[in-house]
Structure 1
Amino acid sequence: MADSLITIGVLARASGLTASALRFYDDCGLLTPARVDPLTGYRYYTEDQRERAMLIRRLRAIEVPLETISEILSGDAGRAERMLDEHVGELKRRAVAAAVVAESIKQTLAAGDRVAVPAWLLAEAFEQVRAAAASDREIPVLAGILLEASGNSLTLTATDRYRLSTRTVVSRDRQGGDWSLVVDGGELAPVVEWLRSLDEIVAAPTDQGLLLTGGSSERRCRVIDEPFPDYRVVLAGLEPVRTRVLTERRPLLDVLESASPTVRFEVGPTGLTVAGSHLPATVTGSAIDLFFEVTTLLPAINTALGPDLMLDIAAAGHPVVIRSATDGDLTTLAMPANG
């Protein structure tokens, strides 16, 4: 059987999902590996799981919620058709954009490194990660967003030392080699608005900065020429998860928006209590109390994907990993405050 298994990297390339998304779907029980190596933790899948992974990617591309995907893939064909029809009825404004491809690009870039991604998706990713960038210029590079083009994806990362957000976007097309640069996060607001008006965007590194081309226009983003912190070391050094909380995002946002500067998180068997307000939540693992600065936590919760959140907690004094319960591509680390 071992010879017929494929690695998570092979499955990612075959299905169009990122490895981080596949790990998230494992944690949620939607796509569990056939085998996990007890020594290395490496995940292995069967060839039969390739089709399920591709269906999950296609359903996520039209923003079908996680719980609905599970019902569609496990239910009868008639019920699945009805659920899909109901969902598509809510997404009419994006149906036309799904049929438009590279025709919107009017300017052909010179040969070189470039990556094409959905423009609205890049705008969303910029907004989500930018919340973790520093608002001051004490360390200039921390006010920037790291862009990394590699494989079939574009990864965006920002950190101000108290938060860290990283999001991976699967590209539609890519040419040239791997590249990375740090764009100035403080100058992105008008660029994001421009991106929302387009279907597809081509991003390319140049001597003058990041060049974005879409439709019949282009924008240049200033680059911060300093080394970005090695965020992968931070992610790799995270302690094992001892407590996991699954809760709705909107009620948590409501509490944080009216809370004092520092809030108390009480995680227990009956759910989650934040600033004295009890919130419905599914908790696995040990009970724990944490404190957060609202200015640190609120932007991370506000920019999360989907209606539900997953919080992975190692221990007091360690970063809390915040992920959307309906999409594993956006990961945010928030540092608790001293109690």
Structure 2
Amino acid sequence: MDTISTFARRVGLTPSALRFYDDCGVLRPAHVDPDSGYRYYSADQERDAALLRALRQAEVPLADITAVLAGDPASAREVLTAHARRLRSRADTAHAAVEAALRMVEQPSHGEVSVGGAELASAIRQVHPAAARTPEVPELGCVLVEWTTEVLRLVATDRYRLAVRELVPHRVVGPPNRLLVPVDAMVAALPWAVRHDAVRLVAEADDASLVADHPGDDAATGEVPLPTRDGNYPDYRRVLDTLAPHTCRIVTTRTALLDALAAAGNPVVLETGGDTVHVGDATVSAVCSGTARLAFDPAVLAPAVAAGVGPDVLLEITAADQPTVVRSADQGSFTTLVMPVRMDQ
């Protein structure tokens, strides 16, 4: 067996750290001399000590470290997965705060992001159904448009739904930025955007506009002004990062699901059944992993299903009281969250 100093050097920990972990009951020495109180460690403990060092570097709390060291692999995986979600949430929150600080410090008077016109039109079409159409909370009647050098993101929510579409920008000028654009203005710009190969969203100090990169001969169609609003938009990143892992996945034909929702009452109960999903009184063929039974307002779920791309739709279900993720089965850059409603027993 090794003395505490020798063992500490071998595993990359300090003797004081090993004494601390002994006092906390996280990593006990293999033997303690009853006369001198010296601690001794065995070679069998090197794996736990190395794992302990890695977990502390990852900022895992001591209580969770004890569960990882003492538990089975499945329990350890569950603890570490939950910790990873917390770290991502903290990192995203810090990133958003830094971006906000950059906007305040740099006070950009000009910024722009370029993207394909058809891509932008598709993104507007996908997210706008999730925006609120009532005036109680003005920010929810807007589409959040934000960009960095790596991504242009459109977000809309009415607190019952959350839609997020990401695009890869062709070019970005200026620092990261974000705008709140009333949803009606975004929808009005949709047919204009689809007629242009590439468009630029230009943000000035007090206004914004969409500008065609190649407006053609008719200069009147080369630019569309966009009104903007001030306000605090909900922290959609936190919502996405705190989603629990799904327990059931359903892949089904989009049109069949929409037809079933159109014929259903409110609320409509969705229930898996082998290779089918029951939607109210209708039965739709589906590929299901796991089981689920939950209810939706069809007027809320149907637009989320319709907004996707391709013939199939994917539903990822966590629980009857947790948001359901609605995705296009072949397009990962568009995500909608839909809240279930209370089921009639």
Give the corresponding residue for 2:270: 265
Question: Are the counterparts in 2 of residues 165 and 330 from structure 1 also a CA contact under 8 Å?
Answer: yes
Deviation at 1:164, TM superposition (A): 0.2
Secondary structure at the residue paired with 1:280? strand
Task: State which structure, 1 or 2, has the greater radius of gyration over its C-alpha atoms.
Answer: 2
Secondary structure at the residue paired with 1:131? helix
Give the corresponding residue for 2:120: 122
The CA distance in 1 between the partners of 2:81 and 2:247, in whole Å, is 19
The CA distance in 2 between the partners of 1:312 and 1:136, in whole Å, is 28
Query: Equivalent residues in 2 for 1:155-174 (5 A)?
Result: 155-174=153-172
Alignment-mate amino acid for residue 265 of structure 1: L
Q: Establish whether residue 293 from structure 1 lines up as the match of residue 297 from structure 2.
A: yes
Secondary structure at the residue paired with 2:130? coil
Structure 2: any 5+ residue segments left out of the alignment?
Answer: 1-76, 85-107
Give the corresponding residue for 2:200: 202
Q: Establish whether residue 220 from structure 1 lines up as the match of residue 225 from structure 2.
A: yes
Question: Are the counterparts in 1 of residues 110 and 205 from structure 2 also a CA contact under 8 Å?
Answer: no
- Number of matched residues? 236
The CA distance in 2 between the partners of 1:320 and 1:207, in whole Å, is 38
Query: Equivalent residues in 2 for 1:171-320 (5 A)?
Result: 171-214=169-212, 215=215, 216=219, 217-285=222-290, 287-320=291-324
Secondary structure at the residue paired with 1:239? coil
Comparing both chains, which one has the higher relative contact order based on Cα–Cα distances under 8 Å and sequence gaps of 6 or more?
1
Give the corresponding residue for 1:140: 138
The CA distance in 2 between the partners of 1:155 and 1:37, in whole Å, is 31
The CA distance in 2 between the partners of 1:337 and 1:154, in whole Å, is 32
The CA distance in 2 between the partners of 1:199 and 1:111, in whole Å, is 26
Query: Equivalent residues in 2 for 1:79-118 (5 A)?
Result: 112-118=110-116
Give the corresponding residue for 2:341: 337
Alignment-mate amino acid for residue 306 of structure 1: G
Question: Are the counterparts in 1 of residues 109 and 204 from structure 2 also a CA contact under 8 Å?
Answer: no
The CA distance in 1 between the partners of 2:109 and 2:245, in whole Å, is 45
Question: Are the counterparts in 2 of residues 183 and 210 from structure 1 also a CA contact under 8 Å?
Answer: no
The CA distance in 1 between the partners of 2:302 and 2:78, in whole Å, is 37
Report the TM-score when normalising by structure 1.
Answer: 0.66
Deviation at 1:40, TM superposition (A): 5.1
Report the TM-score when normalising by structure 2.
Answer: 0.65
Structure 1: any 5+ residue segments left out of the alignment?
Answer: 1-35, 43-109
Alignment-mate amino acid for residue 263 of structure 1: V
**1:8-29: per-residue Cα shift (whole Å, max 9, x none)?**
xxxxxxxxxxxxxxxxxxxxxx
The CA distance in 2 between the partners of 1:295 and 1:327, in whole Å, is 23
The CA distance in 2 between the partners of 1:211 and 1:221, in whole Å, is 5
Output the aligned Cα RMSD: 2.1
Deviation at 1:247, TM superposition (A): 1.0
